Amino acid sequence: MKKVWIGILIVAAVVLLGVATVGGMYNQLVASDEQVASAWGQVQNVYQRRLDLVPNLVETVKGYAAHEKQTLEDVVNARSRVSQLNVSSEMVNNPEALAKFQQAQQELSGALSRLLVVVEQYPDLKASQNFLALQSQLEGTENRIAVERMRFNEAAQRFNTIRRSFPANVIANLWGFKEKAYFEADKGAAKAPIVKF
């Protein structure tokens, strides 16, 4: 009789240990998934900040450089394409959707860069306090974007590492935790820019 109770206690202990292990891994996956979601929210936040700055920047430049219509239209059109994207938290589970989002953001970055090159031709605009303040805010926002993208990639890496580790990968597959996508470097980023004087 005593051996039966010992056997039951051992089985119960093994079952409890198994449940605790599975529960702990599940909770770790949930916490890591939430970190990725939080980091993604911050990425969206700084991109939205840039999106909000663009109309002010365009209007300020328009007053000085009205005949630079094509450059201004490129910026407006790129901003429009970005704002029309259906951005959701599911994007972090879909590398193709994240790549489209990143491509649209790169197009806007390129258009803004061309706009800032045009500004160099207008000394009065470069000296305008409104423009200088907007340019400073835009530069700060671009830095924030880089930082938040890095933080997102770090959170995605932590999640993906946990998700791929055994035995957490079994729990992840059972509960449908998908691998997170990463932001990638812009095309041509590995090539050093040519500087001519």
| In a domain? residue 194 | no
Task: Report how far residue 71's alpha carbon sits from residue 61's, in angstroms, rounded to the nearest whole number.
Answer: 10
Q: At what angle do helices 129-164 and 2-64 cross, to 10 degrees?
A: 160
145 SS3 class: helix
Question: How many domains would you assign to the chain?
Answer: 1
Cβ(107)–Cβ(81) under 8 Å?
yes
Interval 65-119: pLDDT, tens = 666 777 778 888 888 888 887 777 777 788 888 888 888 888 888 888 888 887 7
| In a domain? residue 89 | yes
| In a domain? residue 190 | no
| In a domain? residue 30 | yes
Give the CATH number, domain containing residue 118: 1.20.1440.20
| In a domain? residue 185 | no
Task: Report how far residue 164's alpha carbon sits from residue 81's, in angstroms, rounded to the nearest whole number.
Answer: 35
Range of the domain at 102: 2-175
In this prediction, residue 195 carries a pLDDT of 43
Provide φ and ψ at 49, rounded to 5°.
-60, -45
- 0.75 exceeded by pTM: no
Task: Report how far residue 160's alpha carbon sits from residue 176's, in angstroms, rounded to the nearest whole number.
Answer: 13
CA 165 to mean position of chain CA atoms: 24
| In a domain? residue 192 | no
Interval 139-191: pLDDT, tens = 888 889 889 989 999 999 999 999 998 888 888 888 889 898 888 776 655 55
Report residue 17's pLDDT band, with 50, 70 and 90 as the boundaries.
Answer: confident
